[in-house]
Amino acid sequence: MTALDDDKHLTDAEIEAPFIAASTTDVESITAISSVSKPDRGDGLVGRFLPPAIMLVIFIGIWYLYSTLAFEQAFQRRNALPYPHEVVEDGFLPVWDERQGIREILGYMWPTVKVTLLGLAISIVIGVCIAIVMNMSKYMERAIFPYAVVAQTVPILAITPLLTQVFGDRLGVRLAVVFLIAVFPIITNTLFGLQSTDRLHHDLFTLNGVNRWTRLWKLELPSSIPALMTGIRIATGLAVIGAIVADFFFNQGDKGIGYFIRVRQQAAADRPDMLAGTITASLFGVVMFLIAGAITHRAIRDWHDSAGSRS
Amino acid sequence: MTIATGDTIAGGAGRSIAAPRLTFEHLSMVFPDGTHALDDISFTVSPGEFTTVVGPSGCGKSTLLRIASSLERGFSGGCEVDRDSIGYVFQDATLLPWRTVRRNVELNAELHGVSKSERAERSAKAIELVNLIGHEDKYPKQLSGGMKMRCSLARSLVLNPSVFLFDEPFGALDEITRERLNDELLRLHATEQFAALFITHSIAEAVFLSTRVLVMSARPGRIIGDYQVPFGAERPHDLRFEPEFAELCGRINDDLKDAHE
């Protein structure tokens, strides 16, 4: 009788657990709901990849539905919103020809990738330095912060052509566009990390009579790494956008995917190409985001609580 | 801030009881916001002495330690301390989460510019003293509360402190862990002979560890009780259940009740 009660109790707890976990925003926990009765608790391949796959199918279904219902004539549809399979056939295929399809798109992607990575690296280095300076004094923080906000809020589409007209079609200007859009989350997150260093840790360092640089190097910077990593992950997505926006306005030198998208937008018949380019560019952003996440996880998994769950 | 230490045992009689390592004389503290934290505190702690201050929450006990370690300034009266080597154990273990146990234990020595090889030697010894052998490469998040506190103790031990300040270090631990760490701290104190100033809420802990217990009143903190603890350096675990022990706890408890009123 007792054993039976215990057994029942255990089962209740097991059933309850996934629902409690589901109240968090963690994606893994949410997938756990769908597998309450399954032996794998949402950690298997199926639990991980099935939900987003279903969403993709629904999305493509709506796309087909709209393309079919909204346009009376085939040429109207093709010039406005081609079917997904047309994007694949005309945009991505054939794979073997260097002057069309995915090979051509990837050729245009490469300069964009370079500008994104270089611009992101510059944003990280300069952003962290700016945050350190802002952390050194309240007045520095007050002096710099409004302009960090402006860098983020300035309409990047308006300023980019201006920059090209003033400074010319140079790599430096493309990097500046990426920097302008990507540096803000780096600055704010790093500053937040530096400023939320544990007060008792500060006392500990004070007791040891350390100077400002030792404090920065051995206490404040390491403790701000999780926040910095969050900033980098946000900046990664923005850097990709910045690089593509820059591509739109640069006609000299290595032409990027933004140039490809802009040119293929002009002729309506090129719509599948343009969509294929856009999809490739977004996938690049996703890959960058995943890489940044993986680096974060690797960097802090040993010691930081948040590193227990992947994202 | 310099004061004479005339009223202590170390007068001029030639007896070799060392001079106090920590002296408070008519110490008062009023914070800039007007909070009157401490009022006319005078006592000394000599090497080999273990003095504990008990008192109600917010009575300024921690402020006393922060003044002794120069984390807090702006007091009046005298505070003299052998500043060469202060050990400070916080309420929280305050381990750096990105460092392993070994690297955490090395931290104070590292910040004091102790050479790498000597650091390694000293930290290995300290880790042995607090029974953390085998956990050197773990990160703090893998440790229990008691182990974190041991690690924190070891970090201070690496500097061979002559004055050891404890700010309710075991307050967050469960009873069994706390008692075990009390036993170990007693053993450490017997061998290292530092001058200890310990802050706690627990009367039993105070009596078990100390050679002297001071009772502090509610704010502004004053010393309202002063007890020499009659037990020797050898204190078995079950001393806690002796009638004499209970009787002393009872008297301190009575004082504390007054302190709250």
Measure the CA–CA gap between B168 and B53, rounded to whole angstroms.
10
Count residue pairs from A and B with Cβ separation < 8 A: 50
The mean of the pLDDT values for chain A is 82
For a pLDDT cut of 70, what percent of chain A falls above it? 83
| Average pLDDT for A64-87 | 82
Does any CB of chain B come closer than 8 Å to the CB of residue A302? yes
Instruction: State the pLDDT at residue A41.
Output: 57
pLDDT-based confidence at A5, cuts 50/70/90?
Answer: very low
CB < 8 Å to B107, chain A:
204, 208
Distances (CA, A) of A36 to A13, A41, B68: 12, 7, 57
ipTM exceeds 0.90 = no
User: Do residues B210 and B241 both lie within one domain?
Assistant: yes
Kindly list the distances between the CA atom of residue A60 and the CA atoms of A121, A287, B62, in Å, as whole numbers in the listed order: 36, 21, 64
**CB contact residues (below 8 A), chain A span 175-214, against chain B:** 198, 200-201, 203-210, 214
Q: Is the pLDDT of residue A4 over 80?
A: no
Q: Are residues B169 and B255 in the same domain?
A: yes
CB-closest option in A201, A209, A218 to B94: A201
pLDDT by residue (tens digit) across A200-258? 999 999 999 899 999 999 999 999 999 999 999 999 999 999 999 998 887 777 889 99
Amino acid A28: pLDDT: 36
Q: What is the CA radius of gyration of chain A?
A: 25
Q: Which two tokens stand for residue B86?
A: 């202060």
Mark whether B30 and B148 lie in a shared domain. no
Q: Tell me which residue range forms the domain holding B248.
A: 22-82+162-260
pLDDT of residue A67: 86
CB contact under 8 A, A303 and B90: no
Residue A98 has a pLDDT of 67
Question: With contacts defined as CB-CB under 8 Å, which chain A residues touch B97?
Answer: 223, 303-304
User: Nearest CB to B69: which of A205, A207, A300?
Assistant: A207
Please determine, for residue A58, whether its predicted confidence score (pLDDT) is greater than 50.
yes
> Which CATH number goes with the domain that contains B66?
3.40.50.300
Contact between A204 and B90 using a beta-carbon 8 Å cutoff:
yes
In this predicted structure, the answer to whether residue A115 has a pLDDT above a threshold of 70 is yes
* Domain total of chain B: 2
More confident site: B19 or A107: A107
pLDDT at B34: 85
A92-308 is classed CATH 1.10.3720.10: yes
Overall average pLDDT of the A78-93 stretch: 84
Report if residue B2 sits inside a domain.
Answer: no
Residue in A closest to B143 by C-alpha: A303
Q: How far apart are CA A177 and CA A37, in angstroms?
A: 51
Residue in chain A lying closest to B86 (CA): A207
Give the start-to-end residue ranges of the domains of chain A.
2-57, 92-308
On whether both B240 and B125 belong to a single domain, the answer is no
Q: Which has the higher per-residue pLDDT, B84 or B179? A: B179
Decide if A288 contacts A234 (C-beta within 8 A).
no
Give percent above pLDDT 70 in chain B.
Answer: 92
pLDDT in tens, A13-39: 333 333 333 333 333 333 334 434 444
Tokens 């001071």 sit on residue: B214
| B166/B156 same-domain check | no
Q: What are phi and psi of B92, to 5 degrees?
A: -105, 155
Domain boundary among B108, B126, B161: B161
Answer yes or no: do B94 and A204 touch at CB < 8 A: yes
Q: Note whether B92 contacts A200, CB cutoff 8 Å.
A: yes
Which pLDDT does position B17 carry in this prediction?
57
Interchain CB distance below 8 Å, B98 and A201? no
* Predicted pLDDT of residue B11: 35
Residue A113 main-chain phi, psi, to 5 deg: -60, -45
For A302, which of B96, B111, B139 is closest by C-beta distance? Answer: B139
pLDDT beyond 70 at B93: yes
Check CB contact of A114 with chain B, cutoff 8 Å. no
Residue B5, min C-alpha distance to chain A (Å)? 25
Q: Is the pLDDT of residue A1 over 60?
A: no
Encoded tokens for A130: 């700016």
pLDDT at site A42? 57
**Domain final position from B161, B179, B207:** B161
Cα–Cα separations (whole angstroms), residue A61 to A55, A66, A84, B40: 10, 9, 10, 80
**CB-based contacts of B257: which residues, under 8 Å, 6+ apart?**
none
Quote the minimal CA–CA distance from B139 to chain A in Å.
6
Residue B88, domain member (yes or no): no
Q: Residue B113 is which amino acid?
A: G
pLDDT over 90 for what percent of chain A? 45
B98, A303: Cβ pair inside 8 Å?
yes
* Cis before B220 (ω within 30): yes
The alpha-carbon gap from A26 to the nearest alpha carbon of chain B, in Å, equals: 21
DSSP codes joined into one string, A30-76: HHHHTTTTSSS-S-SHHHHHHHHHHHHHHHHHHHHHHHHHH-SSHHH
Beta strands in A146-198 (DSSP E): none
- pLDDT tens per residue across span A148-191: 999 888 888 888 888 888 887 788 899 999 999 999 999 999 99
Q: Is residue B171 part of a domain?
A: yes
* Disruptive mutation site among A205, A208, A228 for chain B (greatest number of B CBs within 10 Å): A208
A219 touches B at CB < 8 Å:
yes
